[in-house]
Homo-oligomer: A and B are copies of this chain.
Amino acid sequence: MQHSLHAVLETSLYVRDVDLALRFYEDVLGLRKMDVFPDGRGAALQVGKGPSVLLLFRAEITRRGGTFPPHGTAGDGHAAFRIEADEIPYWRQRLKDHGVAIEKELVFDSNPPSIYFRDPDGNSLEFAVSSIWPFAK
């Protein structure tokens, strides 16, 4: 029998200051903090209702390994968060209210625009509707 992976469960971004990053992801993006890891290693946030986790890690710690296999990157990562078309005005306003600049808006085919902005570490974030991708059922 053939099985398929069901979804990405954990997405990682690397940050310098976990508290600063958490403030951004909780206050601006409204994500729910699930866990803060010992020794400043990072934190985990729930995204939406489904099983979707954003991990924030300090690469200087995670590169050492230990309990977990070592990992860690330098530079600006990229992740996109799923929104619905009618939520675009809300998220534009919410970024503005928090002083977060919209770096770019891009339109793919006839979809509503994707909105690009940065977290405090410079990671490139995006709000996008799922119809920008040709998902098969």
Contact = CB atoms under 8 A, between A and B. Distances in A.
Interface in A72-129: 72-84, 87, 90-91, 103-104, 106, 116, 118, 123-124, 126-128
A69 interface: yes
Contacts of A79: 8, 10-12
Given A55-B78, A71-B77, A46 B10 contact: no
A121 to B, nearest CB: 11
Interface of A: 1-12, 14, 29-32, 34-35, 44, 46-55, 57, 59, 62-63, 67-84, 87, 90-91, 103-104, 106, 116, 118, 123-124, 126-128, 130, 133-137
